[in-house]
């Protein structure tokens, strides 16, 4: 999995006024926790954070605080402003190479479904899937081949098999499928 370096400055616990002042300066308040460590409060530049949040890709984040050594983490929770869509707060979960990491990775659809060639319509319900694995085994994305997909067939999360990676999304989650269209049913009725 790809790594993303994010530089930040530690901060003290503050009230709403302090946090609003950070946001006016173009900083986003963040929190790093997990692995039995104390919570670390810090701020990051909102523009640097956009490169991490405004992409479908998933990253292992290397957080460098006050120019120190990087701490490895993953995005855990984001809070957004309801009107401006500005990021208000970010929670990072500390991870290491010895424990499995659960993270959402994007799905990549490849191939041409047989059902579409027969006149059906392709649909995709999920853009990402949640997986769990050690850091060295985490994929950048999960490729789903839809070539054998016929009319009224679908692919579920349970149909995806990866080496050394467990799928932790709901097993019945429908990823994609091919629906029969009216034209196909009308042609079948005429025959």
- Domain residue limits at 27: 3-94
Picking from 67, 94, 121, the residue at the C-terminal end of a domain is 94
pLDDT of res. 184? 73
| pTM across the whole model | 0.82
Picking from 49, 70, 94, the residue at the C-terminal end of a domain is 94
Are residues 71 and 143 both part of a single domain? no
pLDDT of res. 186? 73
**Residue spans of the chain under pLDDT 70:** 191
25-36: b (≥16 Cβ within 10 Å) or e: eebbbbebbbee
Are residues 137 and 83 both part of a single domain? no
Are residues 114 and 171 both part of a single domain? yes
| CATH, residue 150 | 2.170.120.20
Are residues 84 and 45 both part of a single domain? yes
Are residues 35 and 78 both part of a single domain? yes
pLDDT of res. 123? 95
DSSP letter, residue 181:
P
CA distance 79 to 91: 9
Are residues 124 and 183 both part of a single domain? yes
Are residues 45 and 81 both part of a single domain? yes
pLDDT of res. 90? 95
Number of folded domains that form the chain: 2
pLDDT of res. 43? 95
The answer to whether the beta carbons of residues 31 and 41 sit under 8 Å apart is: yes
Are residues 7 and 87 both part of a single domain? yes
């Amino acid at each position: 999995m790809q790594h993303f370096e994010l530089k930040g400055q530690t901060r003290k616990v503050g009230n709403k006024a302090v946090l609003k002042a950070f946001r006016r300066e173009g900083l986003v308040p963040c929190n790093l926790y997990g692995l039995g460590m104390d919570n670390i409060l810090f701020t990051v530049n909102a523009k640097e954070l956009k490169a991490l949040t405004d992409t479908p890709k998933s990253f292992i984040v290397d957080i460098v605080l006050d120019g120190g050594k990087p701490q490895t983490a993953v995005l855990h929770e984001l809070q957004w402003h309801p009107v401006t869509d500005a990021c208000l707060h970010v929670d990072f979960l500390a991870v290491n190479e010895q424990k499995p990491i659960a993270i959402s990775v994007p799905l990549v659809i490849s191939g041409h479904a047989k059902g579409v060639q027969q006149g059906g319509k392709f649909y995709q319900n999920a853009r990402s899937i949640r997986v769990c694995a050690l850091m060295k085994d985490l994929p950048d994305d999960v490729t789903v081949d839809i070539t054998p997909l016929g009319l009224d067939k679908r692919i579920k999360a349970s149909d995806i098999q990866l080496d050394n990676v467990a799928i932790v999304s709901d097993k019945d989650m429908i990823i994609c499928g091919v629906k029969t269209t009216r034209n196909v049913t009308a042609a079948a009725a005429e025959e």
